[in-house]
A and B are shown apart, each in its own frame.
Chain A
Amino acid sequence: MKKIEAIIQPFKLEEVKEALKAIGIDGMTVTEVRGHGRQKGHKEVYRGQEYQVDLLPKMKVEMVVPDARSEEVISALSTAARTGKIGDGKIFVYEVAEAIRIRNDERGESAL
């Protein structure tokens, strides 16, 4: 099993959800996060006082999928989240040791 973690632009969340649904991915966890990569932030001015805002709002989308499906999911995800501009975000992939469904203790890929 692989855990796929994508940090994306907030306004791309709906498109990403649609794309994942289209290839049959049912479960995901979405978190509002803040961060920056090379994009850095922007400047805000309040009554002449300038503030450099480095951490920008992003969405973190996480899901665990069977090994066989991970490339398919990654490509659907990155196509949907891409604008081609700096700030589009990143995808990280991890090995998952085990998955347990709390309701009935099912284990492994059948728990996904």
Chain B
Amino acid sequence: MKKILSASSLAALGAISLLAQAPPAAPPTVADLVPKIAAAQSAGDNAWMLASCALVLLMTGPGLALFYGGLVRKKNVLGTMMQSFILMVIATIMWALFGYSLSFGDGNAFIGDMRFAMMNGVGMEPNTDYAATIPHLTWMAFQMMFAIITPALITGAFAERMKFSAMVLFTILWSLLIYYPMAHMVWGKGGMLNAFLGGTVPCLDFAGGTVVHITSGVSALICAVVMGKRLGYPKEPMRPHSLVLSFIGACLLWFGWFGFNAGSALAANGLASSAFVATHFGAAAAALGWILAEWFQHGKPSILGGISGCVAGLVAITPASGFVKPMPALIIGFAAGIVCYFAVVKVKAMFGYDDSLDAFGVHGVGGTLGAILTGVFATKEVNALKDAAGNAINTGLVDGNGGQVVNQIIGVAISWGIAIVGSFIILKIVDVVVGLRVTSEQETMGLDLSMHGEEGYNLEA
């Protein structure tokens, strides 16, 4: 051992003396270093953002597919999973051809243009309007994962009774008429609600409270009302066939949501860490809120209550995650757990609509609550908007800017309006073209066999 050590240290000494004999290099100039620093930052940011892209895709498949798949009866497990999976296919292709461009091309205050259609001009160079340190392709891919999961969330409302062809047509039209315009208005350059890129009514939405959760959740309500109840609802028992699957799915949603929210910082920076912590705090507090509400109301805390609560908290913290400090994140989460519990358990029973897997109660209600509370708790200490002179302006009510709450409510109202009117029209079109519902024989048989010709569990195989 000693011999080896001395031999290696001799070799090291030799190397140092060799280095010492080389002529001293000229000190690097600032001009030399600038591109190197930029490349190093880009490498760090891009690594995190590519990981975030993958995390957000994981939320749809397998996360949401398992969460929803476990909640339906076993004859519909594959049909329900397919509704999530097919969006990983269709929403991707639409995004590649024209969806990205319609969302993020400059366009007007309401919709983008076709400048990025077919990935034209979307390459390895950053798009400095949106994310200056990562390739334009990474930014495009990150946004694509949002365009996939948003329509997938709606499928919870019409589970167990929508024709597959109708579901496909609905989500294509829904992406075109509702998602792309909303994404453009809130996040696109020149969009009317964009707080950072010249919107007239700046609405704070860090990762998609309005764009993702209100649009999908409110559209879900319209779907549930227009399509009507499942056969036998609410008389026949429709218990979830596997809460084990739902549990795994919900925990994967929680895990993937770090990409959704912390990734929305678009860089591996302090804001990403802040959003990461707020996201986690919100989820935990909401799970506790739901469990406690249920424990008091029904005498037992349930795992379904816990996982429903954590998803509600993740929804509510989404618009706020990049604007609020950790303690308000706990408050927002806890409030979401309680409010969504009552939306799902009481409000649904009161009105009698069959939002089968509670897409509205969790995403519509949680998203609305989160969007409004973002206006209350947003602070320039976390994420500063600058005025024309470059000074940080007061962000939310806690900074003394009560007007932001009004802006948030305007943003919420616009999202609700577009979702209600748009979804209603789309459902009517789809009904005329292919028909919304499966036949009663097909519904009784289950979507797995009637729509896809296969079964989830072949126990005798």
A residues sitting closer than 8 Å to B (CB atoms) are: 44-49, 51, 53
A51 in contact with B239 (CB, 8 Å):
yes
Cα A45 to Cα B304 with chains together (Å): 10
Show 25 A/B contacts (Cβ-Cβ < 8 Å), sorted by A: A44-B239, A45-B298, A45-B300, A45-B302, A46-B239, A46-B240, A46-B302, A46-B304, A47-B304, A47-B305, A47-B308, A47-B344, A47-B345, A47-B358, A48-B294, A48-B297, A48-B298, A48-B344, A48-B345, A48-B346, A48-B349, A49-B234, A51-B237, A51-B239, A53-B237
CB-defined contacts of B297 to chain A, threshold 8 Å? 48
- The A interface, classified by DSSP as helix, strand, loop or mixed, is strand
- Given A46-B239, A48-B345, A48-B346, 16 additional A-B pairs, CB 8 A: A44-B239, A45-B298, A46-B302, A46-B304, A47-B304, A47-B305, A47-B308, A47-B344, A47-B345, A47-B358, A48-B294, A48-B297, A48-B349, A51-B237, A51-B239, A53-B237
B216-254 with Cβ < 8 A to chain A:
234, 237, 239-240
Q: How far is the CA of A108 from the CA of B99 in the complex (A)?
A: 77
Residue of chain B at shortest CB distance from A45: B298
Kindly list chain B residues whose C-beta atoms are within 8 Å of the C-beta of A53.
237
Total number of B residues with any Cβ neighbor in A under 8 Å: 17
Which residue, A44, A47, A53, has most C-beta atoms of chain B within 10 A? A47
Distance of A45 Cα from B3 Cα, bound (Å): 73
| In the bound complex, CA of A32 to CA of B31 (Å) | 78
B70, chain A: closest CB distance, angstroms: 11
Please report the C-alpha to C-alpha distance between residue A6 and residue B67 in the assembled complex, in whole angstroms.
39
Q: Nearest chain-B residue to A51 (Cβ)?
A: B237
Residues of A within 8 A of B239 (CB): 44, 46, 51
Nearest residue (CB) in B for A48 is B345
Closest to A43 in B: B298
Once the chains are docked, how many angstroms separate the CA of A46 from the CA of B357?
A: 11
> How many whole Å from A48's CB to the nearest CB in chain B?
3
CA distance A3 to B336 in the complex (A): 60
B260: shortest Cβ distance to chain A, in Å?
Answer: 24
**Closest 10 CB pairs between A and B?**
A48-B345, A51-B237, A45-B298, A47-B344, A51-B239, A46-B304, A46-B240, A46-B239, A47-B345, A47-B304
Contacting residues, chain B, for A46 (C-beta < 8 A): 239-240, 302, 304
Whole-angstrom distance between the alpha carbons of A45 and B300 in the complex?
9
Q: Give the complex CA separation of A48 and B355 in angstroms.
A: 14
Q: How far is the CB of B214 from chain A (nearest CB, A)?
A: 21
User: Residues of B contacting A45 with CB < 8 Å?
Assistant: 298, 300, 302
Scan residues 332-357 of chain B and give those whose CB is less than 8 A from a CB of chain A.
344-346, 349
How distant is the Cα of A53 from the Cα of B358 in the complex, in angstroms? 23
Give CA–CA (A49, B341) in the complex, Å: 12
- Shortest CB–CB separation between residue B339 and chain A, in angstroms? 14
Contacts of B302 in A (CB 8 A): 45-46
Cα of A51 to Cα of B240 in the assembled complex, Å:
11
CA distance A63 to B304 in the complex (A): 41
In the bound complex, what is the Cα–Cα distance between A46 and B298 (angstroms)?
10
Provide the residues of chain A in CB contact with B308, threshold 8 Å.
Answer: 47
User: Measured between C-beta atoms, what is the minimum distance from B357 to chain A in Å?
Assistant: 9
